[in-house]
A and B are shown apart, each in its own frame.
Chain A
Amino acid sequence: MEKILEVRNLSKVFGKGCPNCFEKTGPELNTNICPDCKSVVAAHDLSLDLYKGEILGIMGESGSGKSTVVKNLFFDQDPTSGHAIFYDDDKQYDLFSLNAAQKRHLRNHHFGMVYQNPHLGLNFGISSGGNIAERLLMNDLRNYKEIRERARELLERTEVLTERMDELPKNFSGGMQQRVQIAKALAINPPMLYLDEVTTGLDLSVQAKILDLILEIQQEMNTAMIVVTHDLGVVRLLAGRTIVMKYGRIIESGLTDQILEDPQHAYTQRLVASAL
């Protein structure tokens, strides 16, 4: 299997930090707030690998640092320390040492992100089709008809009524907005997609359809994905491998089936038990 992403010792601290931050926080101490300097250790010493076409789940309770991981990898935030390498065929990118223009290039041409809040992923001032067009235009597609066709194709693929492609996303239901967001993220066929709680807050039946769509896309396009969720059902359905986080640390990782059948960490055991 070909590696697409390698993360080593990623840490993210909110606040000025002190020499005791890492010692005095973590799952054993039941906090991510440093008692000495009050900084929040949102993530510490995280390492993970991702392979082409693979879906990795990141699970954990609220505040455990799940979003922090993808936000750092998608350059929405800058890490406090650590390394990450993105492999793209023969090229490799040292993610945290790129300049702003190089980061933007990766976001626009190689990565996709779907947020829980569609306001973060979509421009609500322009039509759904326009949102997709923006991604295509960033990729230097300059033919109006081709842009229209590609946008229509993507919306069809994500099961948004194409007759509504010229409407503003604010007229759409939450589930539809997520579909538009997914279509936009996919517009450039990214090899790497981040999904942060994309079904949270949606009706169960809508959730199920969107999860199906994500699986289909992964199979059709061989997109590698990191799926962030606090929902065990989502990792069970989507992720081949899963990481469990608590207070900014990885407390367990491995094949999803194994984690669900034979959780090692007491916390994971409780999570799995409560979901049964």
Chain B
Amino acid sequence: MTAMRKANAAYPFGFLDEYAKKEVRRTVLKAIAIPGYQVPYSSREMPMGRGFGTGGLQLTLSIIGEDDTLKVIDQGSDDSVNAVNLRSFIEMTCDGIDTTDITDKANLIQSRHRIPEKPLREDQIIVLQVPYPDPLVVVEPSEDKRKIMHGEADYSRLLVKLYEDIVKFDEITISHRYPTCINGHYVIDPSPIPRWDVPKLHQSKALVLLGAGREKKIYAVPPYTDAEPLAFDDMPFRVESFNDENGQRRCCDRCGDDTSFLDEFDGQGGEKVYQCSDSDWCREQSIAKGA
């Protein structure tokens, strides 16, 4: 603990120097002004490998203040190793902030893989960690060409990918990072969230910020902005189904809720067990049901 305090004293609030934080905040303003556009910035070295959420972390550190209450999620849970490490790093370098597991109580949420089930509010910001920011990378290796394609909203080759998917599998098989068109122009990689979470971006009350540390890009889905997953008129976008063989909606083994995104586990008897992926949501449902 003393070692921690010493380390703490060696760094300014938020670990990054003021200049770096200002640059990130300027980048954020530009990202909000041009919804879905990947704004380049000079991503800083962080005391963890790039690809471990440094893009999200730099966003959080740049916008957090002493009055803020932070929640950190990884795979829907606040208790996973990554979430714990990130949270303790932020606590250590941001003296005076509060942290919480409760979605409702947080005004800043940093997340990987999930957006909370509970609809976010106007006074909340969610920061998503992004490994690969450019959805066009699968169809065009040259970044210069990709920039032109984005500028002209030329996404036909991405749509051809979806076409070929349907030809081969009779459905669009993309499970995570579903390409999504923001405000009618730029198509983004919405980070490794499941399809289930993509509709939450549409007309979100909360500001959504996305940060890719390794690729040095920040982009945003501002509040009340259209977010439309790419699809065909006659093959609409669909979220994951949690119905069983009989078409019955599965429910959470812990809280009994049948509206949330479920994780699948192997039970003790070898049978499948389903539980809410969002641990805070699950807890809240359990309390509400008096379980």
Contact = CB atoms under 8 A, between A and B. Distances in A.
Interface of A: 100-101, 104, 123, 126-127, 129-130, 133-134, 137-138, 142-147, 166
B159 interface: yes
A101 B185 CA distance: 14
A144 B235 contact: yes
A147 B148 CA distance: 26
A143 B163 contact: no
A127 B167 CA distance: 10
A134 B233 contact: no
A266 to B, nearest CB: 47
Given A101-B152, A127-B167, A134 B160 contact: yes
B160 A130 contact: yes
Interface string B221-240: 00000000000111100000
B123 to A, nearest CB: 37
**Main SS at interface, chain B:** helix
B167 A145 contact: no
B18 interface: no
Contacts of A138: 154, 156
A142 B152 contact: no
A117 B167 CA distance: 27
B166 interface: yes
Contacts of B143: none
Indicate the size class of the contact surface on chain B. 10 to 19
A38 to B, nearest CB: 30
Contacts of A137: 156, 159-160, 163
B167 A142 contact: no
Contacts of A147: 163, 232
B167 A166 contact: yes
Given A100-B148, A101-B152, A104-B152, A130 B163 contact: yes
Contact of B167 (A104, A130, A134, A146): A130
A113 B252 CA distance: 57
Contact of B157 (A129, A134, A145, A166): A134
Interface in B163-193: 163-164, 166-168
Nearest to B164: A130
Interface centre among B152, B156, B160, B167 (most CB of A within 10 A): B160
Given A101-B152, A134-B157, A142 B164 contact: no
Contacts of B233: 142-144
A216 B168 CA distance: 33
Nearest to B163: A133
Nearest to B235: A144
A101 B167 CA distance: 30
A104 to B, nearest CB: 6
B251 to A, nearest CB: 33
Contacts of B168: 166
